[in-house]
Structure 1
Amino acid sequence: MDIKQQAGAQSIRRALSLLRLIAQHNEQGLTLSELTALSGLERSTAHRLVTCLLEENFARRETGGKRFQLGVDAMQMGFSTMHHAPVIEELRPLAMKLSRLSEDTVFLVIQQADQVLCLLREHGAFPVRIFTIGVGEKRLLGIGAGGLALLSTHTDADIALIYQRHEQTYRKSGLSLPMLLEKCHLTRRNGYASIESTITPGVAGVGYAFSVSAITQVAFSFGAITPRLTGQRRTQMGRLLIDECTIWQQKRRIMPIALQNTSVSV
């Protein structure tokens, strides 16, 4: 590769790194100073690249004009994968392996705002199948095992804000904010989430959240009738999820999630 090609590849990588940063902070947006600080780029370089993203509609300025958010073309690229999400094809073999090893129902979910979307469901050989959520259905973060695993990757302060926005739904599921935080703390300590009769009486679950890219996290979970998913087996299934998902990440050189441990008083 010659010098011009190297420079071109470097510019592309830098632009993509800015796009990822904007996507990670899309709700509130990022100023040029924040983009510069987070990316480690020179201000002039960050300004040149974000200007290009603006011109190509991959970024936009908010109404005030100081903060950058994702543009319409970035959104359109995301929408174009909705019915054939690459992450599903990437993780389908692992989902099938997990269902074969456990013989239980395996779910794959991804976070969308304050909810999780079910991308995949694989049934194992065990005759009692679990249908707590179907492909394409959504559920509030923290209600199911996969959603609890994903919620636990957030700070306690962010969890409190999510709870505040959906307090009525959480209370209908029997969850106060202290109870939800306690479940998240236990998830962080164990490394995996565990639920029982949160969605359906007599059904338990174990979930694990992991990164599939620099900005995307998903969660796998097992669902089974409670007598089958006892305390000892939950530990075994939690360990199975951690081990298999870690192997998948290592093969793709993806860094694991750093679980948050910032606490707030409630």
Structure 2
Amino acid sequence: MGLTLPELAAKADIDRTTAHRMARFLESADYVERDSSSRRYRLGTAAMALGLRAMNRAPLNSELITKMKALARLTGDTVFLIVRLGDYGHCLHAEEGGHRIKSFHTLTGTSRLLGQGTGSMALLAKFDNDAVRAHFARHRAEYEAGGLSLLRMMRGVERSRKLGYALAGAEGVAGVGYALPLAMGAEAALSIVSTASRMSVARRHELGGILGAMFLR
């Protein structure tokens, strides 16, 4: 999947040196990314996020947005829609509950590596173990800089598979994430997130059960 540098140069009708310079610039801005083994280029997260922002509506049906609003009312917390973009989870939409947290306003439109956050961990848990290890290897430096080892990632993936939902908590924030059925229209997950004081482990399990019941009907 993706294109080699000579293929890019041929399609753009430019010389290879110019294509290389342009590709390096686009890679530095996350508009393209290069596979370290195949050396093929593909769209990066910035390009995919730009495409999503240009759309007039979310790439998931209105039934999902209705359910997000219902969850926000029921829980009082913020419900995020996370869409997978390659190796990243992109926060496409949020519905606020009565317990609003100002800093959450800035999260819509942002992207993080899969496994960083409850929704993206739920998505990562859909990978098989070999794919999880390959994913970690591609981004080892970033994960380890954030204190996430492969062992911790695998434990999180295994727990998410066992429970049917992902749990996480760090720096005063905690939540639960649930990967949506592909029938909903895209590879995506919902996460319900709030302050840790509102998200005891027991409550997170309760919310995980609510999410499962809502989407397994």
Q: Deviations over 1:167-210 (max 9, x none)?
A: 1111122110011000000001111100111xxx1001100002
* TM-score calculated relative to the size of structure 2: 0.71
Counterpart of 1:114 in structure 2 is 87
- Alpha-carbon offset, residue 217 of structure 1: 2.0
The count of corresponding residues between Structure 1 and Structure 2 is 170
Q: Deviations over 1:3-58 (max 9, x none)?
A: xxxxxxxxxxxxxxxxxxxxxxxxx49xxxxxxxxxxxxxxxxxxxxxxxxxxxxx
- Alpha-carbon offset, residue 164 of structure 1: 0.7
Pairwise CA RMSD of aligned residues?
Answer: 2.5
Counterpart of 1:99 in structure 2 is 72
2:122 corresponds, among 149, 174, 182, to: 149
Counterpart of 1:178 in structure 2 is 151
2:192 corresponds, among 215, 222, 229, to: 222
Counterpart of 2:202 in structure 1 is 232
What CA distance in whole angstroms lies between the structure 1 residues aligned with 2:197 and 2:155? 24
- Alpha-carbon offset, residue 133 of structure 1: 5.8
Give unpaired runs (5+ residues) of structure 2. 3-47
Indicate whether 1:208 and 2:181 are aligned.
Answer: no
Q: Secondary structure at the match of 2:127?
A: coil
Indicate whether 1:194 and 2:161 are aligned.
Answer: no
Percent identity between matched residues is 34
Q: Deviations over 1:81-125 (max 9, x none)?
A: 734234163421111011011110100011010001111101101
CA change 1:214–1:224 in 2 (3 A) is closer
Which amino acid is the alignment partner of residue 183 of structure 2?
A: S
* TM-score calculated relative to the size of structure 1: 0.59
**Residues 1-266 of structure 1 mapped to structure 2, 5 A cutoff:** 28=1, 82-87=55-60, 89-128=62-101, 131=104, 134-197=107-170, 201-213=171-183, 216-247=186-217
What CA distance in whole angstroms lies between the structure 2 residues aligned with 1:83 and 1:242? 29
What CA distance in whole angstroms lies between the structure 1 residues aligned with 2:105 and 2:151? 25
Contact 2:118/2:177, CA 8 A, preserved across alignment: yes
- Give the structure with higher Rg (CA): 1
Give unpaired runs (5+ residues) of structure 1. 1-27, 30-74, 248-266
Contact 2:82/2:93, CA 8 A, preserved across alignment: yes
Which amino acid is the alignment partner of residue 144 of structure 2?
A: R
CA change 1:84–1:191 in 2 (3 A) is same
What CA distance in whole angstroms lies between the structure 2 residues aligned with 1:189 and 1:246? 16
Q: Secondary structure at the match of 1:233?
A: helix
Q: Secondary structure at the match of 1:84?
A: coil
What CA distance in whole angstroms lies between the structure 2 residues aligned with 1:174 and 1:144? 13
CA change 1:84–1:156 in 2 (3 A) is same
